[in-house]
Amino acid sequence: MGPQEPPGPRDTLALLASQDLSMEKLEVELGPLQCDYRVDRRVLNEQELEETGQRSQSPKPFRWFTLPRCSRSVAWATLCRILPILSWLPKYPAREFLLGDLLSGLSVGIVQLPQGLAYALLAGLPPVFGLYSSFYPVFVYFLFGTSRHISVGTFAVMSVMVGSVTEALAPNDAFPVPGNDTEVDVIARDATRVKLASALSFLVGVFQVGMGLLQFGFVVTYLSEPLVRGYTTAASVQVLVSQLKHVFGLSTKDYSGPLSQIYIVLDILWKLGDSNVGTVVTALIASILLLAVKMINQKLGRKLPMPIPSELLMLIGATGISYGIGLKDRFKVDIVGDIPAGLEPPRLFDFHLFEKIVGNAFAIAVVGFAIAISLGKIFGMKHGYEVDNNQELIALGLSNFVGSFFQCFPISCSMSRSLVQEGSGGNTQIAGAISSLLILIVIVKLGELFYHLPKAILASIIIVNLKGMFVQFSDICYLWKANRMDLMIWSVTFVATILLNLDIGLAVAIGFSLLSVIFRTQLPRYSILGQVPDTDIYRDVTQYKEAKEVPGVKIFSSSATLYFANAEFYRQALKKKIGLDVDHLIAKKKKLIKKQKLKTEKLQKEEKRQKKAAARKVPLDSWEPNNMNIKTEEMDIENAQDGGVDRPDDAVVNDKEFITLETLGLPQPHFHYLILDLGTLNFVDTVCIKTLKNIFRDFQEIEVNVYLAGCHGNMISQFESGNFFGDSITKGHLFVSIHDAVTFALMQSRARTTQSVLATRM
């Protein structure tokens, strides 16, 4: 190490500025992406670093809650945070954004109309309630939401989750027509299902608003992307299965609970011979036409002023054809039926239903928020604005809460409509408000025109819109190459959701995902590091051929933090990697020490016995010369046992200062220094502290010095709080980097070698 530089510029820019004259030459010789740097400093352990960097010894205490100051500006900022529309609407650039928002709102409304009617069937409700759910929640989100581009309203995954609840708690078998058990009282069944869906929307809203107020927006981070994609893919399969009865014109039994999807498919296959040909032909033609128009939109999307509204054109055309040729009367094709005009007044629901649906409501609340925030973040990053997780929870929660009083079912955002809203020029949620006004016009005046609309058309619209979801099956090939653990999460989520239904499947998926994180931290990669030649960089010697171990030094590294779940694995991997059974060596050492101690005690007892025997030979009335002879004889005996000849080794080893592996005849480790790389440590628990203390104690027993390297500053504070440092372990054992620890170990090794040479010469 060179001498320490005098005080001067210490920042990186100043150091680089001193090398400006040679940079041009370096760029020519080394290329524009290569440069050398050299830092000349002394070895720093943690104690020296704290003195040099003047570490603060009294960090500010963490406060869970800070009382805000009462002022007009603070009150206005709080109000704008609760009602984001107040912050952006007064600054709305009408000349720049209004035309785009108007066209986007009309485009979204045209798509939302058929989807609202269709997704109501998924929820097991009459189609008009899909229109209600496309109006009230959208307008509420316009006031409270922070995302400018997502289209809030009905969504296939949310609708099928609602449908699983309504069909389970209000099955067809529970509503027979009086006097005819084979027919279903549709009016009573639908009324009960509407109450269930409204109560479900109320609870979903309460959960979402509560989590938003408690700042629980981070809960979505526990839903990884493979989990969400696997879950939505499984939900799309359930959507497809639920629409098969409308495609084939069959009446099937309502199944719920685990394996319900298997039972539904088997029931449909059993009754496939009873399919309605007119319904099958209608669904097939509609699906082909919808797919053809969507392909045209994809090919000519940039040339068209707006996408061709295939769903709306299909609704209008199919309704006209159904009315003209009489599909209901001539071919027994099921139609939508009566769609009441006008808005319904607010209604309360049965609060006794809450205990039956509270678990499903929480699952729907989490899934709905996860879908909305993931899309919102994507559009926010693309267009350069921030989406607040907690405010989004509150906005979605209020949308569901307010909608529950107007007989709406839980909503989220739709990927297809959001892409339409962004692609057609939408800039703010004014586009969403315009689309909701278009739905309002349909509810008030135009809803009754869709009386003759075949249900097979709505089923075709639902199935065709699942195309994007089914593309997610390609994740299997991608994840197989990219990350097998993510593939396992995707697969477990998909299978659990298909077999166990949506609510239980989500719980299993989250549990497995969290367990996978625990397993990955419990079984990380352990390695022995070596130095890359002519650098201060240390890498795994099994991965880097040129990385060589430093003689006499072992550097042990883990790819995960050390905590209670992997502490035992850490100790076992350490013994295995260094090639030394520390416990066995310590046990042999203790056994030999105990054996030598017993020998020493036996020798001491023999000395005492001989002394007593010699004392008995002296007569009590002996005169003085004889006494002198006796004393001389006793001294000769003692000298013969202790000082007259060299004391045997067995008697010396009782003194701990002289006990070594060499004196005991045990094999010595082929290294004298062990460095633990703790750069991956991100928290410290009591088990971590205990494990490190045990490692220090065990290796000191076998004459190996242990050093720690690479700890972050906050880890030092946690070590201090856990009373890790003491007399045997000080901050002098902890170094700022692996290279500092290695350099210090080599200096200590040279110093010890020099002392040994001097002692030998003396």
Average pLDDT over residues 20-45: 61
Rg over CA atoms, the chain: 40
- 314-318, 399-403, 601-605, 757-761: range with lowest mean pLDDT: 757-761
Q: Establish if 2 belongs to a structural domain.
A: no
Residue 72 domain flag? no
Instruction: Assess contact for 314 and 457: CB atoms under 8 A.
Output: yes
Q: What is the model's pLDDT at position 159?
A: 93
Instruction: Judge if 500 and 552 occupy the same domain.
Output: no
The whole-number average pLDDT for the span 26-42 is 61
CB atoms within 10 A of CB 590: 11
Cβ atoms 122, 115 nearer than 8 A: no
Q: What is the pLDDT of residue 578?
A: 92
Q: How far apart are CA 362 and CA 281, in angstroms?
A: 40
Closest CA to 552 of 394, 726, 751, 413: 751
Give yes or no for a contact between 132 and 403, defined as CB atoms under 8 angstroms apart. Answer: yes
How high is the pLDDT of residue 473?
A: 93
Per-residue confidence band for 622, with pLDDT thresholds at 50, 70 and 90:
very low
Contact between residue 247 and residue 460 where contact means Cβ atoms under 8 Å apart: yes
Give the DSSP per-residue string, 410-440. Answer: --EEEHHHHHHHHHTT--STHHHHHHHHHHH
> Under a CB-based contact definition with an 8 Å cutoff, are residues 639 and 605 in contact?
no
- List, in sequence order, every beta strand (DSSP E) within 85-124: none
CA atoms within 13 A on the CB side of 315: 22
pLDDT digits (tens, 9 = 90+) for 325-339: 999 888 889 998 888
Which of 502, 519, 536 corresponds to the end of one domain? 519
Residue 318 and residue 230 in contact, taking contact as beta carbons nearer than 8 Å: no
For residues 553-557, give the mean pLDDT. 95
State mean pLDDT over 277-302.
Answer: 90
Q: How many CB atoms lie within 10 A of CB 709?
A: 25
Report the SS3 class of residue 31: coil
pLDDT at 642 > cutoff 60: no
Q: What is the pLDDT of residues 451-473, one digit of tens each?
A: 999 999 999 998 998 888 888 99
Looking at the fold, whether 246 and 296 belong to one and the same domain comes out as yes
User: How many angstroms separate the CA atoms of 78 and 68, rounded?
Assistant: 10
Distance, in Å, from the CA atom of 123 to the CA atom of 165, rounded to the nearest integer, reads 9
DSSP 8-class letter at 733: G
Query: 397 pLDDT exceeds 80?
Result: yes
Asked if the structure places residue 4 within a domain, the reply is no
Looking at the structure, do residues 107 and 242 belong to the same domain, yes or no? yes
> Which of these three, 473, 488, 519, is where a domain ends?
519
Is residue 553 predicted with pLDDT exceeding 60?
yes
Mean pLDDT of 207-215: 92
Mean pLDDT of the chain, nearest integer: 84
Contact 137, 262 (CB under 8 A): no
Terminal CA-CA length for the chain: 30
Mean pLDDT across 181-193: 86
Co-location of 542 and 464 in the same domain: no
Query: Closest by alpha carbon to 230, among 508, 518, 516, 520?
Result: 508
How many Cβ atoms from other residues are within 10 Å of residue 184's Cβ? 17
Q: Which has more confidence, 127 or 624?
A: 127
pLDDT the model gives residue 475: 93
Q: Lowest mean pLDDT: which of 53-67, 106-120, 251-265?
A: 53-67
Please determine, for residue 630, whether its predicted confidence score (pLDDT) is greater than 60. Answer: no
Alpha carbons 120 and 410: distance in angstroms, whole number? 11
Structure tokens of 126?
């009459």
Judged against a pLDDT cut of 80, whether residue 511 lies above it is answered with yes
- The whole-angstrom separation of Cα 324 and Cα 452 is 10
- The answer on 541 and 426 residing in a single domain is no
pLDDT of residue 654: 45
pLDDT at 706 over 90: yes
Separation of alpha carbons 8 and 707, rounded Å: 31
> Quick check: 680 and 559 in contact, CB under 8 A?
yes
**In a domain? residue 76:** no
Residues 535 and 457 in one domain: no
Model confidence at 673: pLDDT above 90: yes
Residue of 41, 33, 43, 26 whose CA lies nearest to 738 = 43
Average the pLDDT over each of 33-47, 57-71, 668-682 and give the range with the smallest value: 57-71
Q: Answer whether residue 197 shows pLDDT above 60.
A: yes
pTM above 0.95, yes or no: no
CB 389 within 8 A of CB 220: yes
Spatial CA neighbour of 671 closest among 578, 552, 579, 586: 552
pLDDT in the model for residue 617: 62
Describe the strand order of the beta sheet including 673-677 as a list of residue ranges. 538-540, 526-531, 553-558, 673-677, 705-709, 734-735
Q: In the prediction, which pLDDT does 756 show?
A: 56
Tens digits of residue pLDDT in 137-155: 999 999 999 999 999 999 9
Q: Are 130 and 107 found together in one domain?
A: yes
Q: Which two tokens stand for residue 316?
A: 């209008």
pLDDT band at 34 (very low <50, low <70, confident <90, very high): low
DSSP state, 644?
S
Distance (Å, whole) CA 599 – CA 651:
8
> What pLDDT score was predicted for residue 566?
92
- Please indicate, yes or no, whether residues 422 and 534 belong to a single structural domain of this protein: no
* C-alpha to C-alpha distance for 24 and 145, rounded to whole angstroms: 53
Number of domain units in the chain: 2
* Closest C-alpha to 192, from 213, 211, 168, 208: 168
Q: Are 225 and 373 in contact (CB under 8 A)?
A: no
Question: Is the residue at 669 inside a domain?
Answer: yes
* Range 274-297 average pLDDT: 92
Whether residue 15 is predicted with pLDDT greater than 70 in this model: the reply is no
Look at residue 42 and tell me whether its pLDDT is greater than 90.
Answer: no
pLDDT at position 46 is 83
Supply 738's token pair: 């692996």
Q: What pLDDT does 501 receive? A: 86
We report the CATH number of the domain holding residue 564 as: 3.30.750.24
Q: How far is CA 248 from CA 243, 251, 271, 454, in A?
A: 9, 9, 10, 12
What was the pLDDT predicted at 69?
Answer: 65
What whole-number distance in Å separates Cα of residue 643 and Cα of residue 635?
10
Q: What span, in angstroms and rounded, lies between the C-alpha atoms of 398 and 209?
A: 7
Nearest to residue 331, comparing CAs of 281, 272, 273? 281
Opening angle at CA 224, ends 511 and 486, nearest 5:
85
**Helical residues (DSSP H) of 123-155, grouped into ranges:** 128-133, 136-144
**What's the per-residue H, E or C state across 437-492?**
HHHHHHHHHHHHHHCCCEHHHHHHHHHHHCHHHHHHHHHHHHHHHHCHHHHHHHHH
Please choose, from the candidates 704, 10, 5, 136, the residue with its C-alpha nearest in 3D space to the C-alpha of residue 406. 136
Is 120 inside any structural domain? yes
Q: Are 279 and 247 in contact (CB under 8 A)?
A: yes
Question: What confidence category does residue 474 fall into, taking pLDDT thresholds of 50, 70 and 90?
Answer: very high
Per the CB < 8 A criterion, the answer to whether 618 and 630 are in contact is yes
Of the candidates 169, 115, 502, which has an alpha carbon nearest to the alpha carbon of residue 312? 115
Asked whether residue 537 carries a pLDDT value surpassing 50, the answer given is yes
| Domain extent for 387 | 94-519
Residue 525: what pLDDT?
A: 92
Percent of the chain with pLDDT over 90: 44
| pLDDT on residue 662 | 79
C-alpha to C-alpha distance for 240 and 216, rounded to whole angstroms: 33
Residue 598 pLDDT level (bands cut at 50, 70, 90) = confident
Same domain, 536 and 416: no
Contact 685, 715 (CB under 8 A): no
The backbone region for 25, taken as left when phi is positive above 0, alpha when psi lies in -120 to 50, beta otherwise, is alpha
Please give the torsion angle defined by the CA atoms of residues 454, 457, 463 and 464, in that order, rounded to the nearest 10 degrees.
180
* One domain for residues 296 and 151: yes
Q: At what angle do helices 455-465 and 94-122 cross, to 10 degrees?
A: 120
Is residue 508 in some structural domain? yes
Which ranges of 343-388 does DSSP label H, i.e. alpha helix?
354-383
> In a 3-state reduction of DSSP, which class is residue 172?
helix
Same domain for 396 and 476, yes or no, is yes
Q: What is the mean pLDDT of the segment spanning 640-664?
A: 52
| In-domain check, residue 647 | no
Whether 619 shows a pLDDT value over 50: the answer reads: yes
- For the residues 244-268, what does the mean pLDDT come to? 88
Contact in structure between 200 and 400 (CB atoms under 8 Å): no
Domain end position, chosen among 519, 554, 573? 519
Q: At what angle do helices 389-404 and 354-383 cross, to 10 degrees?
A: 140
Are 407 and 445 members of one domain? yes
